[in-house]
A = this chain, B = another copy of it.
Amino acid sequence: MDLISIRDLDRKTVERLLDSADAIANGKKKPDMGGKILATLFFEPSTRTKLSFQSAALRSHMGYLDFDPETSSLRKGESFADTVRTVEGYADVLAIRHPKEGAARLAADFASKPVINCGDGANQHPTQTLIDLFTIRRCKGRISGLNVTLLGDLKHARTMRSLVCGLAMFGANVTLVSPEGLEMDQAYVDEVKGRFDFKVTARNEPDYRNADVLYVCRIQQERFADPYEAKKITEKFMVKKEAIEAAREDLVILHPLPKVNEIEAAIDGMKQAKYFDQAHYGIPVREAILEYALG
């Protein structure tokens, strides 16, 4: 079973995946895939996604192979199709990351083994979204009806597009907060609204006093022509301890990591900061995904 986009999954399937990850995280379920092999094919680096999948494979009694395109035949001019067709013969499931949109679905077409999309360009990153939904549900007991604020550069962040779709599926109230010019593509938001019944509002001011969940992503200085402007805006959108103390006491702060300076370091030690837990939940969720993919 391929996992290419969160949009291919219905709510029931997502819930089954989250339930399975829950059982694994609680130690109630220990998948044993009997020595099956995961091949990671990362055409652009993403250390933690790769390590997290390899760790999940080891935890599930699988081995892993790491295909490194840098030193590979691709440099001799081999086609993407040929690479996928060859490597799939060495493994039982392929985890692919690629800088180009659609690459994962293309690979799934070529391969007879299951393909897991670990991010294709600005398009989808479904395993991250499943981790995000899992973390929210585990911290808050539910997703439906929660006020979830997404904050940062919503135009370029791949994880945010996938996440909006996941939150919509579960009926969360989504607030999109971004600097002017870095809003999430309106056509995409409209399309999600057409598919799911959920509330979504957009804003250019960082305000999350009413949020149950605050999901932060990076604003890269390179997005702005004027360095002074860039500094002013990243400073304005930086999450500060003071603001968190003024927000709901049971606020949950998430971040896909790595973070640089979008969250004040003093927040790391606060009970609201759940982003390291979120990273660690990557293991049980990806164990559940491997089990799903393999069958």
Contacts and interface: CB of A to CB of B under 8 A. Distances in A.
> How many copies of this protein are present in the complex?
3
Contact of A51 (B58, B90, B258): B90
B78 A258 contact: yes
A59 interface: yes
Nearest to A257: B86
Given A47-B68, A279-B86, A282-B89, A55 B77 contact: no
A37 B65 contact: no
Contact of A90 (B39, B55, B85, B87): B55
A210 interface: no
Contacts of A260: 76-78
Contacts of A259: 78, 82
Main SS of the interface on chain A?
helix
A63 B67 contact: no
A89 B279 contact: yes
Contacts of A79: 265
A113 to B, nearest CB: 11
A247 interface: no
A47 B73 contact: yes
10 contacts: A35-B58, A47-B67, A48-B73, A77-B261, A78-B260, A85-B276, A86-B257, A89-B282, A89-B283, A90-B283
